[in-house]
Amino acid sequence: MIKRTLQVNGVSRNVVCEPDESLANVLRQNLGLTSVKVGCGTGLCGSCSIIKDGKLTRSCNLKMKRIENRTTVITLEGIGTPGNLHPIQMAWIAYGGAQCGFCSPGFLVSTYALLTSNPKPTREEVRDWFQKNRNACRCTGYKPLVDAVMAAAEVMRGEKTMDDLIFRIPEDGRIWGTKFPRPTAVAKVTGTWDFGADVGLRLPPGTLHCELVQAEVSHANIKSIDVTEAEAVPGVFKVVTHKDVKGKNRITGLITFPSNKGDGWDRPILCDEKVFQYGDAIAIVCADSPKAAKEGAAKVKVELEQLPEYMSAPAAMADDAIEIHPGTPNVYYVQKIAKGPETAPIFDSADVVVEGDYYTQRQPHLPIEPDVGFAYMDEDKLYIHSKSIGVHLHMFMIAPGLGVEPENMVMVQNPTGGTFGYKFSPTMEALVGAAALATGRPVYLNYTYKQQQQYTGKRSPQFTTVRMAATNDGKLLGMETDWTVDHGPYSEFGDLLTLRGAQFIGAGYDIPAIRGEGRTVCTNHCWGAAFRGYGGPEAEFPSEVLMDELAEKLGMDPLELRYKNVYRKGSTTPTGQDPEVYSLPEMIDKVRPKYEAAKKKAAAESTDAIKRGVGVAVAVYGSGLDGPDSAEVDAALNADGSVTIYSTWGDHGQGADMGTLGTAHEALRPLNITPDRIHLVMADTSLAPMAGPAGGSRSQVMVGQATKNACERLVTAMTKPDGTFRTYDEMVAEKLELRHHGKFTAPANDCDENGQGNPFCCYMYGVFLAEVAVEVATGKTTVEAMTMVADIGMVNNFLVTDGQIYGGLAQGIGLALSEDYEDIQKHSTLAGAGFPYIKQIPDNMEIIYVESPRPDGPFGASGVGEIPLCGPHPAIINAIYNACGARIRDLPAYPEKVLAALKG
Ligand code: MCN
Ligand code: FES
Ligand code: FES
């Protein structure tokens, strides 16, 4: 142990700690300064940034033995507090800089250090600074952060006042359709928004720390598990294995379709007979300290018999491949599409036919906050707190495996530092649940970043072949498709994902005849989880690149080919549905002048060394889970006349808080209530009804409608015959219900076995324009500008939707150029997996809204979350071709692939 006296935020503090402990952990654990967040833990994300002796420093990889006495430290707590915000914090609120908020403290401290040394930076200097200091954000696309820095600097130079940054509610009292800051913003920019690891530090004495024993091979039979030596390690309380799990020890994949050849009970909580993928959990060591838990884990002996590892769909589909789940074929689900007349005669007689094979990769979600959670017993109820964005869904998926009745379980979502869909799947919920049940003690588990990468789901790679037939003047006549989804070893949501190929390959265009088939394949690579866009980016990449190939063959401009074929009255979607609005022609009209200007600019600025080009893409995605998706929400009148909304709208960081507040405020406007008098009780199954998971960009539509409905019922109950409103006391005196239940069911129906139906009541539409520069010598692509024309219906909150779009575009750039999780070791860090830092994302990003009111959306809103990630990658790939003639068909377009295509 060592003792140090540090000057922290201007106060002298003594700490006693292990010499090898990190400064970040000491600030958090010993001094309670939990604004210091630990994301990657290895110096790659900047979330732990502090100022040490006047210099910006990442505190996670700084050992205490290297810290001298009287070292001065400034953390976010020393910069501003909720009652006394610093201009940088105020600017972060005003520009929507905090979505999930996990990166915010690190960025704010970093900005403070920058503006102290350079009070008047240019935007490029701000970007250079964040790049150099490795400040990573996965949510915002960075542009709003640079906007915030520039505004804060103006206030600090006295050119603007704090007052200029404060949002003013318009005179009509409405916040719907404005940039009202989200209610959690102040907590997020002051480091007081407690994420799972922050609450984890304050769990009661006796809480056990969990360490996982994980598989280091991808496919094996388990011969034996010996925990004797591990349980003898001082401080180890118990090693939990499958023998301690009282239920079925399986997480149910909730098979969606009867033709699925699996039964959905394929994912073990703790491996018993087999290991199905690298990182699978075999045992949980529960100990008094993290150190003892680690020591114990190293002593668990697992005897394995290795089996052939099928690390891709073609390998698992080979004739000699054994069944990964004995009894279920590796190809366990087939989805057909058949729309309109047979395609064969159409292709035989068409003027033009084009065809291409495409691949979209195993994109990792890369949230800055790694997975974290805890569990405990409250009398006879099991409580699990995690990053779940579907608390009820996950309860039903894990309860039978744990052997607990759902009514004896409570699931709570912790404030969450981004998920991007990986938390549509349960991750550690069942593990901490099993450990709490087996030990009877509270248990806590925090993944390292490596575990985050290796043992949470990823986007399922997809191999897609598309053929299109058209007339000489560019009218699409038919399409044939074939797609194969590598879904990893666990079937959950794999069949539904495969259906997305039928629904969205070629979406956006009036294609009268379609035939095709897709399949879901079990492999031993990382399990397939939902990832923002869920099948949309996989489906629309092939058809959007092929549209460009068709345009070239026809000698047409790619934008005009799209314009000719997009949905208009009389068109139907690939599932045969009438679109709910026909805004694509107007959207293309809006982008055309920019597109023409961008083409001229690219031609003028191309050199022999740097080729510039422009690409476009159209994207469409559904808001909702398929068919009659539904949600429930409560609204209650409080004694002081305020209203509380009870909702389980899960918050990845996208803004369930603002979504709920904006919708409820609009619905409660007859009461003339101010937003501060609407309280939110969110994401706890014991307190709020089932709103459904925050996936499929469904929540603004489904949960929004249920929220509206609950509020309207409350307003109706409060309305007196003369049109005025009852007070709380009058409601009580008249024995009227104070809490009202709202419900919504989407007017939609499931697709049939041919992929035909009306699966979504609301869609989102996007037109994307990418401007790129390709370095001819290296093949390196830089995206210099991105534009998105978005029709997401009427907008609840522009600060939120702008942020959703910039963030989604940034992830689309990563998908196009750098992100992958194929190499289990190399891709298990942020940098190794191709995380886009600020200089990979252009500062030049523009959003153009076309707001077509949706008949079935609350106040005309559709969703937004996923559409910005459905189209950037084909636009970028088309732009690369336009720049230099290199056609990339498998992602990501690493420089060496572009170079090879250039040479080819
Ligand atoms: N919104 C709005 N006006 C509209 C539509 C939506 O103001 N017309 C707002 C909503 O109020 C909400 C947000 O935009 O705050 C997203 O709404 P919606 O599209 O309904 O999506 P969900 O709330 O269901 O969120 C899920 C969606 C998905 S599926 C993923 S994955 C995702 C995403 O949103 N992951 C995210 N956005 C993310 N953003 C962040 N920062 N982090 C993630 O992990
Ligand atoms: Fe320290 Fe990521 S850089 S936690
Ligand atoms: Fe930056 Fe979420 S707001 S990571």
Summarised one tens digit per residue, pLDDT across range 383-429 is 999 999 999 999 999 999 999 999 999 999 999 999 999 999 999 99
Instruction: Read off the pLDDT of residues 595-615 as tens digits, 9 standing for 90 and up.
Output: 999 999 999 999 999 999 999
Residue ID of nearest Cα to ligand 1 atom 38: 654
Is residue 256 predicted with pLDDT exceeding 90? no
Give the per-residue pLDDT at 698: 98
Looking at the CA of 707, which ligand is closest? 1
User: Does the beta carbon of 238 lie inside 6 Å of ligand 2?
Assistant: no
Is residue 258's pLDDT more than 90? no
419 lines ligand 1 (CB under 6 A): yes
Is residue 852 within 8 A of residue 789, CB to CB? The reply is: no
Q: Please check whether the two domains, 87-193 and 580-622+758-904, share a CATH topology.
A: no
Residue 659 CA to ligand 1 center (angstroms) comes to 8
Instruction: List beta partners, residue 513.
Output: 478
Asked if the 2-78 domain carries CATH number 3.90.45.10, the reply is no
* Closest ligand 1 atom to Cα of 794: 8
For 779-801, give one letter per residue: b (16+ CB within 10 A) or e.
bbbbbbbbbbbbbbbbbbbebbb
Express each pLDDT in 625-638 by its tens digit.
999 999 999 999 99
Taking the domain 580-622+758-904, which CATH number applies?
3.30.365.10
CA of 45, closest atom in ligand 2: 2
Q: What whole-number distance in Å separates Cα of residue 332 and Cα of residue 328?
A: 7
Q: Name residues contacting ligand 3 (CB within 6 A).
A: 98-103, 137-140, 368, 418, 653
Instruction: Determine if ligand 2 sits within 6 Å of the CB of residue 404.
Output: no
pTM score > 0.85 for this model? Answer: yes
Q: Is 697 in the pocket of ligand 1 (CB under 6 A)?
A: yes
Position 330 confidence tier, pLDDT thresholds 50, 70, 90? very high
Which residues participate in catalysis according to the annotation? 866
For the chain, the average pLDDT equals 98
CA distance 337 to 502: 6
Per-residue pLDDT band at 255 (split at 50, 70, 90): confident
Instruction: Enumerate the domain spans of the chain.
Output: 2-78, 87-193, 208-309+381-449, 580-622+758-904, 630-745
What is the band of 843 on the pLDDT scale with cuts at 50, 70, 90?
Answer: very high
Per-residue model confidence as pLDDT tens digits over 515-556: 999 999 999 999 999 999 999 999 999 999 999 999 999 999
> Which positions ≥6 away from 171 have C-beta within 8 Å?
none
Question: In whole angstroms, what is the distance from residue 45 CA to residue 24 CA?
Answer: 13
Mean pLDDT of 214-234: 98
Fold (topology level) of 87-193: DNA polymerase; domain 1 (1.10.150)
C-alpha closest to that of 489 among 325, 257, 361: 325
User: DSSP secondary structure string, 633-686?
Assistant: EEEEE-TTS-EEEEE----SSS-HHHHHHHHHHHHTGGGT--GGGEEEEESBTT
Percent of the chain with pLDDT over 90: 99
SS3 630: strand
Per-residue pLDDT reduced to its tens digit, 869-898? 999 999 999 999 999 999 999 999 999 999
Please report the atom of ligand 3 found closest to the CA of residue 653: 2
Distance in Å, CA 859 to ligand 3 centroid: 28
pLDDT one-digit tens code per residue, 16-36: 999 999 999 999 999 999 999
Model pLDDT, residue 771: 99
Q: In the predicted model, what is the mean pLDDT of residues 474-479?
A: 98
pLDDT tens column, 480-493: 999 999 999 999 99
Please tell me the predicted confidence (pLDDT) of residue 536.
98
DSSP per residue, 410-475: EEEEPP-S--TTGGGS-SSHHHHHHHHHHHSS-EEEE--HHHHHHSS-BPPPEEEEEEEEE-TT--
Residues above pLDDT 70, as percent of the chain: 100
- Nearest Cα neighbor of 139 from 173, 185, 186, 98 is 98
Give residue 567's identity as a one-letter amino acid code: Y
pLDDT band at 775 (very low <50, low <70, confident <90, very high): very high
Is 630-745 a CATH 3.40.50.720 domain? Answer: no
Tell how far the Cα of 96 is from the centroid of ligand 3, in angstroms. Answer: 10
> Which-ligand-closest: CA of 852?
1
The atom number, within ligand 1, closest to the CA of 792 reads 8
Cite the beta strand spans of 139-233 per DSSP E: 208-214, 220-226
Residue 254 has pLDDT above 90, yes or no: no
Atom of ligand 2 nearest to the CA of 38: 4
Whether 839 has a pLDDT exceeding 90, the answer reads: yes
Name the band, by pLDDT with cuts 50, 70 and 90, for residue 904: confident
**Among 149, 368, 416, 811, residue to substitute to test ligand 3 (most atoms within 8 Å of Cβ):** 368
- The best mutation among 58, 372, 452 to test binding of ligand 2, ranked by most ligand atoms within 8 Å of the C-beta, falls on 58
**Atom number, ligand 3, closest to the C-alpha of residue 100:** 2
CB of 444 within 8 A of CB of 207?
yes
Q: Which two tokens stand for residue 452?
A: 């985050």
Ligand 2 pocket check for 106: Cβ under 6 Å? no
Torsion sign across C-alpha atoms 231, 236, 240, 241: negative
Quick: pLDDT tens for 552-577.
Answer: 999 999 999 999 999 999 999 999 99
pLDDT at 663: 98
40 lines ligand 1 (CB under 6 A): no
| Cβ of 136 below 6 Å from ligand 2 | no
Average pLDDT of the segment spanning 154-160: 98
> What gap in Å lies between CA 191 and CA 82, rounded to an integer?
9
For residue 695, what pLDDT is reported? 97
700 lines ligand 1 (CB under 6 A): yes
Q: What pLDDT shows up at residue 253?
A: 85
- Which CATH superfamily is 208-309+381-449 part of? Aldehyde oxidase/xanthine dehydrogenase, a/b hammerhead (3.90.1170.50)
Residue of 36, 47, 110 to test ligand 2 pocket, by largest number of atoms within 8 Å of CB: 47
- Say which ligand is closest to the CA of 96: 3
Measured from the alpha carbon of residue 133, the closest ligand is 2
pLDDT of residue 101: 98
d(CA 461, CA 484): 8
